[in-house]
Every structure is written in structure tokens, then in C-alpha cells.
Amino acid sequence: MQVESAASAIAEQKPRGAVTISPWVNEPLPDIQGLLCSRDLARLTRRPRWELFGLALLGKFPRKKRYCGRPIGWCRAEVLEWMTRELAVAGESQEHLNAPRRCARRRAIQHCLQLECASSCLSTRRNRPAYSSERHDRP
């Protein structure tokens, strides 16, 4: 009889507070291999960390991924997509690609390879005095 009276007393009591469940109960685990820390992010993008934090604050850079409400790191795929977003290949015609290579300047500071230069470039190279002899001729 005591058991029955104790069970009925418990059933008659009102709940003291509402039970809450964490919003992250069914959150899937993040891909650990695909996360970047701030140091890895700075190395990958070749930009300082403070600049990346500022871009993220302005909304021009991907934000940190969160797990259980806390920021844990950047998604590598999103960062690579951001880096290649405005990357475009310049359309060059076949004529430009198949054209013979020439020196960009008439007097190049660094000599071109003989296979790449025209004959006029080679003749100017032979007529020019050597750099070392000009330097040692001074008194």
C-alpha cells in the first residue's frame, strides 16, 4: 500500500520546469580533415590573419564553421572556391601561341637563350664589350 500511495503522490506532482534539449543534439560531426586553422588559412591564401578576419567580418570571405555553437575553423573547400572565384583564363588566339619568341627589349639586361633569340639579338651581344672589362678599366 505504501508503494501505491507513493506512486500516486509522484504522479500528482506538477513538473517544476520545462525540459530543454540542446539545439545541437542531431548536428552531424564536421569533417576534421577539411578544416583549416587560422595559421593554415594564412599560409594557403598568403595573406595575414588580421586581413582575413576583416574580410570575413565584411562578408567577403567565408566565415568559420561552427560546431555546438562554437567556431572551430574554416572549410577548405569554401576557401579554395573563394580563391578561384574570379580566376579567369585569358583567351589567346592560336596565332599568338605559335608565334616565334623575341626579346622584349632591344638591349636586354639578361641575355636571352640562343634558341629563343633572332639573329639580330646575337649580333648585338657579340659587339657589346664585356661588363667585367669595363669595370676594371677605371683608374
- For the stretch 56-78, pLDDT in tens is 999 999 999 999 889 999 999 99
pLDDT the model gives residue 131? 54
pLDDT the model gives residue 58? 94
Q: Which of the residue ranges 5-14, 92-101, 116-125 would you say has the lowest mean pLDDT?
A: 116-125
Q: In whole angstroms, give the CA distance from residue 47 to residue 36.
A: 14
* 125 phi/psi in degrees, rounded to 5: -70, -40
- Residue 29, pLDDT > 70, answer yes
pLDDT the model gives residue 106? 59
pLDDT the model gives residue 94? 64
- For the stretch 96-109, pLDDT in tens is 666 666 655 556 56
| Domain range annotation of the chain | 30-84, 101-129
* 35 phi/psi in degrees, rounded to 5: -100, 145
Neighbours of 114 (CB within 10 A): 10
Cβ atoms of 71 and 65 within 8 Å: the answer is yes
| Mean pLDDT computed over 22-36 | 87
